[in-house]
Amino acid sequence: MKLIQSLRDYKNQLVNDYYNFRITTPQNPYTIALRGNPYQILFILSHMRSGSSLLSHLLITNPEIIGFGETHVEYDSNQDLKTLLLRVYQNTRQLRMDHKYVLDKLLHDKKLLDETILFSEEVRAIFLIREPKRALASILTLKPHWNENQAIEYYSTRLATLEKYAKLIDNKKRSLFITHEQILDNTQSVFKVMQDFLEVKQPFSEEYQVLSMTGTRGIGDYSENIKSGRIIRKNKTSETAISSELIAQGLQSFAQCCATLSQYCQVVD
Domain 2-267 sits in CATH at: 3.40.50
Instruction: Say yes or no to pLDDT of 268 above 80.
Output: yes
Q: In terms of DSSP bridges, do strands 101-106 and 266-267 run parallel, antiparallel, or are they unpaired?
A: unpaired
Confidence of residue 7 (pLDDT cuts 50, 70, 90): confident
Mean pLDDT, range 117-135, rounded to an integer: 98
Q: What percent of the chain has a predicted confidence (pLDDT) above 70?
A: 96
pTM of the model: 0.95
Q: How far apart are CA 45 and CA 62, in angstroms?
A: 19
Asked whether the beta carbons of 242 and 134 are under 8 A apart, the reply is no
Tens digit of pLDDT for each residue in 51-95? 999 999 999 999 999 999 999 999 999 999 999 999 999 999 999
- Give the per-residue pLDDT at 6: 81
Q: Which residues of 229-255 are buried (b: 16+ CB within 10 A; e: fewer)?
A: eebeeeeeeeeeebeeebbebbeebbe
Confidence of residue 234 (pLDDT cuts 50, 70, 90): confident
